[in-house]
Structure formats: structure tokens, C-alpha cells
Amino acid sequence: MLSKLIHYDFRSTGRAFGPTYLVVLALSVLYTILNHIPHANSRPLTALFDIICGLYILSLFAMFLLTLIFCIKYFYDNLFKDEGYLMHTLPVTPAQLLWSKIIIGGVWTLASCAVAFVSLWIASLPGIRSDIRYDREFLQFCQQALNKLAENPEYIGVLLLSILTIIAGLIFVELLFYTSMSIGSLVQRHHRIVAVLVLIGFMIAHTILLGILSTLSDIQEVQNFVERVSFSLNEVQEMCATLGCVLAYFVLFIGVNFVINNVIMKKHLNLE
């Protein structure tokens, strides 16, 4: 049933993401084409190039913003508004509904990252304008990173752990929004305002929690312990340990948020 839900959710959301990705890729292609046309003496062409360049950069920001907004809106509309009458009467568990939303949110975020990367690669194809340097720098950066990995294969583990931590971080943020909206749905009026207030509350709580953790790390005994452990570790192991701690924090709160959402949908659903 989960695979059917995911399929349904992808179909519903794909209609919005497809055109967005097409616009970003089309602008990067247009940018590259204009970058290949000699237009030093043509003011209209130069102006067009500058406009396309600006639009392309804007489209990249807009794509990430839209990804976040659309995933959050889809979660709310699909589970707590009219469409919820269908979703919550399907023979599936609330946990399956939740997993489906988490998976599609995560996949679309990663897809947006992939589209941004591909579009940057397209835009970085060597052109004529010598004053635009960042494109070549992007290619050079990618090349250097790959070379470094080939020289030091032990960093592949760090890279994989970093990717895992980024994905967990994305799911953590996604669930923070979902939980806020689920809690907001519990009240009879002003769902959205309550959801925003809950979200602000969560952010403050996490800031305080991270502050406490950072204060704890300043305590002499803790510092001594960390130093003793660090002493026995090499650079790679130390990076893995740090990433592991961040990952554990994300995983813990993914679990907490998942349970809150699941309990609300299972025991306190309030579709009116």
C-alpha cells in the first residue's frame, strides 16, 4: 500500500515540479547559448544576456523555495483539508500516509538539488564572456573534489556520512513543518496561525537545546573526555564522529516528530 501511496503522491506533486525544473533547465540552456554568441558590440544582446543571467539565478532560489512551500502545502491540503476525506478513508495506516509524504518531500528536495547541479553544469560549459568566471570555477571545483577523493579514498566514508546527514537534516526540517501543521489542525479555528506559532516554538526549543549541548561541551570534564577520545582518533575518524553526533540528533528528532504526527492522525484526527 505504501508504494501505491507514493505513486499517487508523486503523480499529484509532479505536476508542479515538472514545469519548475523545465524553467530552470531552459534558462540555464539559454544562458549557455547566449554565452556562446559573440555580443561584445551589441548592447541589446548584452542586456538580454544580463537579464537571462539574473533570471537564471533567481529561478534557482525560487526552485528551492517552491520545493519547500509546495511539499508543506501538499501535506496540509492532502491530509487535513478536503482531500483528507479520501486519504484518511483509504485502507492504510497513518504511519504509511506519513512515510509517503516524507519520502516524496525528500525525493523532490533531492531532485531539486540534482536539477540545480545539472543546470549549473550546463551553465558552466565554457563560453565566450571572459568576465564571467564563476562558471569555470564550478567545473574546476568539481574536478578538484573528485581528484581529492581519488587520492584519499578514506574520505569516501566521510562523504557518504555527510550525504546521509544532509538527507536526515532535510527530513528533520520537513517533519518540523509537518508536526507544526498537525498540531495546528487540532484546534478548531486559526489552524495556520497556531501552526506558525508551534513552528516558532519548535525553533526556539531546538536553539535552546543546542545551546545547552554547546554549554555542556564547555565543561572541563567533558572537554577532557572529548580530548582523550579525539587523541586516539585520526582526522577521518574525528570527522565521522562529529557527523555521527549530528546525524544522531536529527534521527532522534525525526523519531519524536514522526510519533507526534502519527498519534495525532491516529487518535486525534479532526477533519471538519
Partner 1 sequence: MEPILQCSGLCKNYVGKTALQNVNLKVERGRIVGLLGPNGSGKSTLIKLCSGLLTPSTGILSIAGMAPGVETKKIVSYLPEHRYLSDWMCAKDLLTVFSDFYADFDMSKALDMLQRLGISLSSRLRTMSKGTREKMQLILVMSRNAQLYLLDEPIGGVDPATRDYILNTIISNYSENATVIISTHLIADVEKILDEVIFLREGSVLLHTPADELREHEGKSVDACFREVFKC
Cell of 92: 492504510
Interface stretch with partner 1, choices 52-60, 77-85, 113-121, 195-203 (CB under 8 A): 77-85
- Binder of partner 1 out of 130, 188, 214, 220 (CB under 8 A): 188
Q: Quick one: 127 or 184, whose CB is closer to partner 1?
A: 184
Q: Please report how close the Cβ of residue 44 comes to partner 1 at its closest, in angstroms.
A: 40
Distance, CA of 41 to CA of 53 (rounded, Å): 18
Q: Should residue 267 be labelled a site residue for partner 1 when binding is judged by CB under 8 A?
A: yes
Q: Are 244 and 161 in contact (CB under 8 A)?
A: yes
Distance CA 228, CA 216 (A): 16
**Could you give the CA distance from residue 270 to residue 186 in angstroms, rounded to a whole number?**
6
**Interface segment toward partner 1; rule CB under 8 A; list 18-26, 59-67, 89-97, 100-108:** 89-97
Q: Which DSSP category does 186 fall into? A: T
86 binds partner 1 (CB under 8 A): yes
| Binding region for partner 1 (CB under 8 A) out of 49-57, 87-95, 174-182, 245-253 | 87-95
How many C-alpha atoms does 106 have within 13 Å on its Cβ side?
19
For 89, phi then psi, to 5°, come to -105, 5
Single out the segment in contact with partner 1 by CB under 8 A; choices: 43-51, 65-73, 76-84, 195-203.
76-84
Residue type, 141: F
Residue ranges in contact with partner 1 by CB under 8 A: 1, 4, 7-8, 11-12, 15, 82-86, 88-93, 187-188, 267-271
